[in-house]
Chain A
Amino acid sequence: MDAKTLLYTKSHEWIESAGAKRKVGITDFAQSQLGDIVYAEFPKPGKKLAAGDEACIIESCKATASVYAPVAGTLTAVNSPLASTPEKINTSPLDEGWLFELDLDEGADLSSLLGLEAYEKFCKEEA
């Protein structure tokens, strides 16, 4: 996944920028803040989520973190191999460490999502 083509949230999720069904994950900044990730807990596919709803939970050695739906949609798939290899979220947050797939609601509001440059600027301010 090319970081430049993704959209970002201020809660450090990324989402693909095109298509009806889009993969979602956490950013490299988020994984580095969390440290070693040891578990990801997903809901059953089919769950409807509003923008900002908790979609899954990540346990790192350091802390428990919620991952939120960047936009409204239905969770259609989860990255099930992460059950045995949660460390992929650390080593490959934008590719093998993707978390779930979201089927966007019609007319879902993407206006609050950030491009890479704006997101990186936001991280610098937060750090």
Chain B
Amino acid sequence: MEADLKRTPLYEEHVAAGARMVPFGGWAMPVHYGSQIEEHHAVRKDVGLFDVSHMGQVFVEGPQAVELVNRIVTRDIAGLADGAACYGALCRADGTLIDDLFISRFTFDRILIVVNASTYDGDVAAMKAIETEVKLNAKLRPCAKEWAMIAVQGPNWKPVCEKVFGGGDWERVEPLHIFSMTYGGHELLFSTTGYTGEAGVELICHPSVSGRLWRELMAAGGRPCGLAARDTLRLESGMNLSGQDFTAANNPFEVRISWVVDLNKEFQGRDALVKLKGNVARRQVGLMPEGRRIPRHNARILCGGEPVGEVTSGGFSPTLDKPIAMGIVNVAQAKIGTELEIELGGGATTKATVVKLPFYKRMQ
């Protein structure tokens, strides 16, 4: 492990639990604690814990926080209620994606944006440039170092949280909300968001209490899960991985997140996106390979021997017990049911059919 990798406050917990640590986005992160497949099933059937302290927090504070956030993100958050959270994106002026992110509103003058780890510095720079340009009465406060973050994901997340945080009206806690509470004498942000396709919560807490929180969540039945399970869980759910399923070459319309682009308000990239809407040449698709060979990231997708796209994420789906993939192809090949081929390396290919995403959707 390279010495210059950043460590989350939970690093020692992972090592003690026997995790295999790998570099991810500049951080030393647990990839699994033994079996990524068992961890995947634990999240689908019970409850898993993920250290996501590498993710980045940016607060937007001041009387015009809503207006400033609205200039930064693609999503119109003017109607976002106090205590509500939503998914959105940050674009360049040319409409290409910088990152995807979560926006949570505590009050009109206090909003939290959570961004990806590997893109944090670039996101902050882009947001600050917008802040400087628009001159609103609100301030950005990037503060990733001040927070640890633990995702508790899976159908049994509420009983686990009840054991740790005590009784209460847990039935009333709904998805896509956020509230502030106290834990170990520090503020803890309770955000019912996630990246697994299961119900759950992301607990954003002070680094000094994160170890205690992690151990209490484990004692309450949460199973530590690594990045590998997190990746197969999000892939089954058809969720994008920033920097992989989309890069600086893609706009939101190409990667199935048109629904977070609100063109009837002003934000960075809006004018370019108006022109791009309905005009994309490539589109993201789900791919169901035949057989059990696994297409990998960057594999070429062929149609009649001609390259028509690339796999952006490929892996084994523990829930479906077969390989699955997402890729970006020319729109001519993006129709559901289209039969394509994917290169496997060494001259081998596998047949694959374009399918509707997601591969997995939980029962409501």
A→B interface (CB under 8 Å): 35-36, 38-39, 41, 54, 57, 59, 61-64, 66, 87, 90
Contact = CB atoms under 8 A, between A and B. Distances in A.
A90 to B, nearest CB: 8
B284 interface: no
B79 interface: no
Given A62-B228, A64-B294, 13 more contacts: A35-B36, A36-B37, A36-B316, A38-B292, A38-B316, A39-B292, A41-B293, A59-B292, A61-B232, A63-B296, A64-B296, A66-B346, A90-B35
B315 interface: yes
Contacts of B206: none
- List the 5 shortest-distance A-B pairs measured between CB atoms, nearest first: A39-B292, A36-B37, A38-B316, A59-B294, A61-B316
B164 interface: no
Contacts of A57: 293
A90 B32 CA distance: 14
B315 A61 contact: yes
A53 B346 CA distance: 13
Interface of B: 20, 31-32, 35-37, 228, 232, 292-294, 296, 315-316, 323, 344-346
Nearest to B295: A64
29 contacts: A35-B20, A35-B31, A35-B36, A35-B228, A36-B32, A36-B35, A36-B36, A36-B316, A38-B294, A39-B292, A39-B294, A41-B292, A41-B293, A57-B293, A59-B293, A59-B294, A59-B316, A59-B323, A61-B36, A61-B37, A61-B228, A61-B232, A61-B315, A61-B316, A62-B228, A63-B296, A64-B293, A87-B37, A90-B35
Nearest to A66: B346
Contacts of A66: 346
A65 to B, nearest CB: 11
Most A CB within 10 A of own CB, among B32, B228, B232, B316:
B316
Contacts of B228: 35, 61-62
Nearest to A40: B292
Given A36-B35, A36-B36, A61-B36, A54 B294 contact: no
A83 to B, nearest CB: 9
